[in-house]
Chains A and B, each alone.
Chain A
């Protein structure tokens, strides 16, 4: 019993930093609708700034003062980030802001490396709170008790702020209905900045408060991000009491997981999230998302058209150039193009459901990696010939997508995204932990193509055939009745339903097709690299695809392909430099601000202006992107 109680105290102490980070994230999402990927970076900044301040300020006052100062400092940084990076792009398409926040992650990563160096920092001890007290005979660190006391105080403070002050009323109003705040004559821009600063400050506080239990290191931004999102989603996006409950739930379950299922450390919280979302699609205390609430900000995209004469010629010339490339270019260029084509197909498959279906998946890597793993497993365990394994990769990835889609498709918006994320984490953990079959994180190596493809140039043409074939197939599907039906379900589900379209079924079919195409890319990938690792199933891989789709332009058909080409090319180039992530981050932020409709969207806009025609009015060739 004593052990049991000590476990619960442990969980409560762990919940503290998690709640602070998650509550900030939830607050920011609730008001600004920005899914802030950079939130983990503010947490990391909090830890580093906290360490620095604590080293400078001595004693009790110094320690606690440093924590408060850290909160202020990180809040200020948050405000600056919001004003420079986010303020110009609130009118961009839904979720576009997450690309900008991704850029912020990269910038903060390299800045932290420059300022604080690569070495991990141990957190200073809290003065007077070193050591343990014995409760029921179990040792409980004193600082844990302090954390357990602080968390409810913070919740109470937030509760007071939100229910008892004018600012709080505005925050609540904005969470319920953004338009209303504008109607009330409030300066929305400053409200957003303020909330962003508050949310960042909470993350910074979290980072500083956990110091005596941990420290500061350069990986903590991503490490906290997953759990923080899980907490926000389980609690219900935008709900602070929900975040509080969920932080405690996750932390306490985590503690018991460590004790009774030590192997569960990787997946437990994602399993919990999947179960909660399947049972309560909007989290514990969340409310249903009103359809279109944050969809379709900005003007709707122009109707799609197949390519006109000019554009067709350009595409044919490009494909022709790719076909002739091996005659002039050396092997490495072919390898780079292989990588680009594979990534472009992967991105195009995500773009298909995201652009035409409005389904934002955070877990698309499950199908890319799934295809790669399917092929590798067939080669390794069934001794399948490469050709058979390759052809089965998209099929098996499609089956996986069908299964996962069946659960996810009933949700929408951010909750759909988070459930796909949970499932992709489950797939990842299977690949990671089932070592006897998948090789764990040592992966599967020596999965090379058949002899007739072992030469780089042969494989290059093989990749072109299936990669470009897959992209064209997806493009064709967009122009086919199926693609139209998918778009109908996105534009107006009610209308689609009232004209006999089974929207969910179309979406599930599209999800499956996209999964299969991602699997095809995965099949190409595994034989190009000769190996596959759980890295290909990671969240980071899903985000890669997501980011290039937004960067290229969601509301354009070529966005995924162009974005993938752009990012792979730029990254290959930049990564030769020191601090290249800083440059890449700045570049992404720059693109986002200059071209909020993505690269293709911006080019199209410029083309339209040059042609002097209003968007979408005429010009079959012009609206062709």
Chain B
């Protein structure tokens, strides 16, 4: 839809007189997508392009149920309340058949609760909070990415293999940070009971005082460091820590730092030797299921992919698969189709959603950072399925609210 037409529609909505669209044969199937396009543009844009690529492929293949698939993208400014209002509008006015979107966990949680109350299907693609599918899980919410717990557990597994026993942690002072540190501690302690956590630093999100944080970590004299900071915080932390020698002779385990969103801005200052989770798109070789996606994305957008691009692509692919399986655009049908959904031949191989907690099997790439040609890259990486890092089925059933 072009800008002009959207503006006119928007105006009609504003003046509140236009009748709601009634779906007809051949009309597009509309998916409501809500994201932080202004507040987190750097993350939301590649994600959106990933979706657009998938839509391009799906629709040139004849669409879904013989109808074109269309996403309506809306900006919520990262405000949960705004997101909930837009969600209502998308479902009741724009004729959306289900919802997806959000990067921030709190917005995801708000949408998830709203979806359950109203009986809308919501696919949380990006948000990492474990509670989305566990303690706050509900039958209408599905989640794509590997959660905080899983990614922290993968790093903890690596950390447990070394001699390091004194660990310090640094994480942004908000839910994602605390969840990640807790998950790392719990997993590491289980694998290696003699570890000791000698320091915890909690900088304010996107407002780190890197010099002081580095000094404080240094003072704790840890053998190894677990880092959760990202974005500008990560850049400052890496620079101050590098200058002041914090990382000399220490292992660092760092969540998400290998994702292009965070790695690329670091340029040649990417911290070598860190063990990270991320997305080494540049190293995928022919034969890897992820390779055709990378090529298609580069051709489609003229840019290199971010992790968000992959997530966006998988989001659209999942939704198309679910609707195709449902054979209908009715909410209940889509919901039931999502449970145990399997989509073959995606960039991560076969993608499926577990029935027990509506979590997909999308895993994470874990590897070591190095600098090549003035740019940080992941080396010695492997792709890991989330399954082995999940709590047991009994634990998950106990966590999830009764349905």
A residues engaging B (CB < 8 A)?
Answer: 3, 6-7, 10-11, 13-14, 109-110, 113, 118-122, 130-132, 138-139, 141, 144, 213-215, 217-220, 223, 254-255, 258-259, 262-263, 265-266, 329-333, 335-336, 339, 432-433, 435, 440-443, 445-446, 448, 454, 525, 529-531, 533, 535-536, 569, 572-573, 575-578, 580-581
Least distance between A459 CB and chain B CB atoms (Å): 11
Task: Report Cα–Cα, A119/B209, bound state, in Å.
Answer: 21
Q: With a CB–CB cut-off of 8 A, which chain B residues contact A536?
A: 81
Q: B300 at the A/B interface (Cβ < 8 Å)?
A: no
Q: Across the interface, which residues of A come within 8 angstroms of B88, CB to CB?
A: 331-332, 335
B175 adjacent to A530 (CB under 8 Å): no
With A119-B265, A215-B235 already in contact, the answer to whether A535 and B106 are too (CB < 8 A) is yes
The minimal Cβ–Cβ distance linking B143 to chain A, given in whole angstroms, is 14
B268-291 near A? 1/0 per residue, CB < 8 Å: 010000000000000000000000
Please give, as numbers and ranges, the residues of chain A lying within 8 Å of B203 by CB-CB distance. Answer: 258, 265
Residues from chain A with Cβ under 8 Å of B202 in the complex: 262-263, 265
* Given A141-B244, A262-B201, A330-B92, residue A531 in contact with residue B113 (CB < 8 A): yes
Q: Is B7 an interface residue (CB 8 A)?
A: yes
Indicate whether A432 sits within 8 Å of B174 (C-beta atoms), given known contacts A331-B88, A573-B14.
Answer: yes
Which of B38-46, B50-58, B157-165, B183-191 participates in binding chain A?
B38-46
* Given A329-B16, A446-B113, A575-B75, residue A122 in contact with residue B213 (CB < 8 A): no
A132-B243, A258-B203, A332-B92 are contacts. A120–B42 as well, Cβ < 8 Å? yes
- Cross-chain contact A7 with B11 (CB below 8 angstroms): no
Q: Provided the pairs A14-B209, A333-B16, A578-B3 are in contact, do residues A258 and B232 lie with their beta carbons within 8 angstroms?
A: no
The answer to whether B213 and A258 touch across the interface, beta carbons within 8 angstroms, is yes
Identify the closest chain A residue to B116 (Cβ): A446
* B window 202-222: CB within 8 A of A: 202-204, 206-207, 209-213, 215-216, 219
B:152-181 near A, CB below 8 Å: 173-175, 178
- Tell me how many residues of B have a C-beta within 8 Å of chain A: 74
Among B112, B131, B175, B243, which residue has its beta carbon within 8 angstroms of that of A139? B243
Binding site for A on B (CB under 8 A): 3, 6-7, 9-11, 13-14, 16, 19-20, 37-39, 41-42, 45, 74-75, 77, 79-81, 84-85, 88-89, 92-93, 105-106, 109-110, 112-114, 116-117, 129, 131, 136, 173-175, 178, 200-204, 206-207, 209-213, 215-216, 219, 231-232, 235-236, 239-240, 243-245, 264-267, 269
30 interchain pairs, CB-CB under 8 A: A6-B215, A10-B211, A11-B212, A113-B38, A118-B45, A119-B265, A122-B235, A130-B243, A213-B236, A214-B210, A215-B235, A217-B206, A217-B232, A219-B232, A255-B211, A258-B203, A265-B202, A335-B92, A336-B85, A442-B175, A454-B117, A529-B84, A530-B110, A531-B109, A535-B81, A569-B14, A572-B14, A573-B10, A575-B75, A577-B3
State the 3 A-B residue pairs at the shortest beta-carbon distance, nearest first. Answer: A118-B41, A445-B113, A258-B212
- Bound-state CA distance A17–B298 (Å) is 40
Contact pick for B200, options A138, A223, A262, A442, CB 8 Å: A262
- By the criterion CB–CB under 8 Å, are B265 and A577 in contact? no
Let me know if B209 and A258 touch, CB within 8 A: yes
Is there contact, CB below 8 Å, between A577 and B110?
A: no
Q: Which residues of A contact B136 (CB under 8 A)?
A: 445-446
